[in-house]
């Protein structure tokens, strides 16, 4: 009998996500279900995989409570402790302390004032809990406007984060490295989002232009180092089933923009073998076996 696998999405998505559709077709016991669906008996599944739950940022407390309940009933991936850590982008400070190059970031909690130097120049201001560019703004040489956006985020109860806009992304794009069960699978390139007018055809995230990419040696070095160090970075890091490392180019080499361990799109459509590799890994997890593969693509 095939194990039952839940591919968890959201009711707010107008149509099934492309990754979910590919995986469901390759998993005989796979079923796409919404995390908000109270009628789902989560204990009936052998494995519950967070996939396109992209509205969690607006319902974080409810989402984490749901994840805790599911984790008490069956195997949840990624693990609850990893999700709790990764849903707040202040994890970037942990990466930096571990010696990983990250985009320089200033965090400003509600009630605190941002340092003026952090607001100068071209900056990105966004909430530490957010996905799909929601709440993010690119502000060009306007300290007052940047400070106003920080205040707006504070008024919504968010911790704000301020980062310099790394303009090389306009020409070279952002590189996403996908890992499944600790093994590199494939890479994709995303065009810059914030420097152009945003479109929101799916409602929960800004539209992205995604193309296949070949990761450079420098990009792979950073991605591989992060994934290998996850057990030391976060409790439950040895149980990470999937990861996406988003990198931006600079004059001094790539830096980490985000480490996506909760609900990243894995851009399975850009690599011919990616969906099959992911499905095989998830099926092995559902059967309770250790998954090991040397078939990662480039």
Contact 147, 154 (CB under 8 A): no
User: Could you give the CA distance from residue 237 to residue 292 in angstroms, rounded to a whole number?
Assistant: 16
Identify whether the C-beta of residue 189 lies closer than 8 Å to the C-beta of residue 145.
no
Residue 9 class from Cβ within 10 Å (0-12 exposed, 13-18 middle, 19+ buried)?
buried
The DSSP call for residue 67 is H
**CA within 13 Å, CB half, 116:** 1
pLDDT digits (tens, 9 = 90+) for 36-50: 999 999 999 999 999
Count of CB atoms situated within 10 Å of the CB of 185: 27
Whether residue 161 is predicted with pLDDT greater than 90 in this model: the reply is yes
The mean per-residue pLDDT over the stretch 175-195 comes to 89
pLDDT at position 151 is 97
Give me the pLDDT at residue 194, please: 54
CA angle, 232 then 236 then 240, to 5°: 95
What local confidence, expressed as pLDDT, does residue 193 receive?
Answer: 59
Element (H, E) at 281: helix 274-286
Q: Identify the H or E element spanning 228.
A: helix 217-233
What does the domain layout of the chain look like in residue ranges? Answer: 106-164, 168-268
pTM: predicted TM-score of the whole model, two decimal places: 0.91
Q: Of 138-142, 196-200, 255-259, which range is least confident?
A: 196-200
- CATH, range 106-164: 3.30.1490
Strand (E) or helix (H) holding 19: helix 18-26
Tell me which CATH code domain 168-268 carries: 3.30.470.20
pLDDT at 133 over 80: no
User: Averaged over 108-137, what is the pLDDT?
Assistant: 92
Is 80 exceeded by the pLDDT of residue 196? Answer: no
Residue scoring higher pLDDT (146 or 1): 146
Q: What is the pLDDT of residues 9-62, one digit of tens each?
A: 999 999 999 999 999 999 999 999 999 999 999 999 999 999 999 999 999 999
Q: Tell me the pLDDT band of 195, cut-offs 50, 70 and 90.
A: very low
For 62-99, the pLDDT digits (tens) are 999 999 999 999 999 999 999 999 999 999 999 999 99
pLDDT classification of 171: cutoffs 50, 70, 90: confident
CB 6 within 8 A of CB 45: yes
The C-alpha atoms of residue 249 and residue 219 are separated, in whole angstroms, by: 9
Q: How many beta carbons lie within 10 A of that of residue 24, not counting itself?
A: 18
> What is the average per-residue pLDDT within 193-213?
60
Q: What angle do CA 151, 94, 154 make, to 5 degrees?
A: 10
Residues whose CB is less than 8 angstroms from the CB of residue 283 and which lie 6 or more positions away in sequence, other chains included: 3, 5, 27
Residues 260-268: what's their mean pLDDT? 97
Q: Check pLDDT > 50 for residue 201.
A: no
CB 195 within 8 A of CB 139: no
Residue 122 has pLDDT above 90, yes or no: yes
Residue 249, pLDDT above cutoff 70: yes
């Amino acid at each position: 009998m095939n194990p039952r696998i839940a591919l968890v999405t959201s009711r707010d998505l107008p149509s099934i996500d492309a990754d979910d559709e590919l995986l469901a077709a390759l998993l005989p016991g796979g079923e796409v279900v919404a995390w908000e669906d109270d009628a789902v008996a989560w204990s009936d599944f052998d494995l519950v995989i967070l996939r396109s739950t992209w509205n969690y940022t607006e319902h974080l407390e409810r989402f984490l409570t749901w994840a805790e309940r599911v984790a008490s009933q069956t195997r949840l991936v990624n693990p609850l402790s990893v999700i709790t850590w990764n849903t707040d982008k202040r994890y970037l400070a942990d990466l930096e302390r571990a010696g990983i190059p990250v985009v320089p970031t200033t965090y400003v909690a509600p009630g605190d004032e941002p340092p003026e130097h952090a607001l100068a120049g071209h900056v990105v201001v966004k909430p530490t809990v957010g996905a799909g560019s929601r709440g993010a703004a690119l502000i060009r040489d306007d300290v007052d406007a940047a400070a106003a956006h920080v205040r707006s985020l504070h008024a919504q109860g968010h911790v704000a984060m301020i980062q310099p806009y790394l303009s090389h992304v306009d020409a070279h794009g952002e590189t996403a490295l996908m890992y499944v069960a600790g093994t590199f699978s494939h890479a994709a390139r995303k065009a810059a989002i914030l420097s152009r007018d945003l479109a929101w055809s799916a409602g929960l995230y800004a539209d992205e232009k995604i193309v296949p990419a070949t990761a450079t040696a420098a990009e792979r070095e950073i991605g591989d180092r992060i994934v290998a160090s996850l057990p030391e970075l976060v409790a439950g890091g040895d149980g990470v089933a999937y990861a996406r490392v988003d990198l931006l180019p600079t004059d001094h080499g790539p830096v980490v923009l985000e480490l996506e361990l909760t609900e990243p799109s894995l851009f399975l459509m850009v690599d011919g073998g990616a969906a099959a590799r992911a499905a095989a890994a998830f099926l092995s997890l559902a059967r309770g076996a250790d998954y090991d593969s040397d078939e990662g693509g480039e």
